[in-house]
Amino acid sequence: MTSMLLNRTGYRLPMAAGFLVLALTTLGLNPYWRPPAILGRAIPTFWWLAALIFVSGMGVGLVSPSSNNAAIELMPEKISAIAGLRGMFRQTGGVIGTAGIVLVLSRFPDKVAGFRAVFLGMSALLSLAMPPIRLVPDGRGAAGAGPRGEGLEV
């Protein structure tokens, strides 16, 4: 759905909104926080976690098409190289991120405190990713347009 709105919103707005959603949902995973209550009834932890993961996925859904199209707009003739590099960096980031989380958790004798530090740190890193979004091409009206104006599926 995001890719259909890129012509009107440009690339920056969905990216900023997606990173904000990701930062907030990551912050919501903090183990010291309890699920909120609705009408005096506590939300079960399972449903709170499921809701956070669902909303986090929506954040990724906002960021991914925008960043894909912004990268392709910069060099449309190199679409295959861009796709390969994005995949490589996504996988590398996952490996380094997982190793970093394990390293941080290994330094805490109390694992709950370790997870608290991890989620607060990840939320801070996601927040730091928002200011550079201003450097991304706006792309308003260019999203989905190939070199000759025909649609470009990503």
> Which 3 state secondary structure label does DSSP give 37?
strand
* Cβ 19 vs Cβ 129: under 8 Å: yes
d(Cα 45, Cα 47) in Å, to the nearest integer? 6
pLDDT in tens, the chain (154 residues): 777 788 888 889 999 999 999 999 999 888 777 888 888 888 898 999 999 999 999 999 999 888 888 888 888 899 999 989 999 999 999 999 999 999 999 999 998 899 999 999 999 999 998 999 998 888 765 544 545 445 445 4
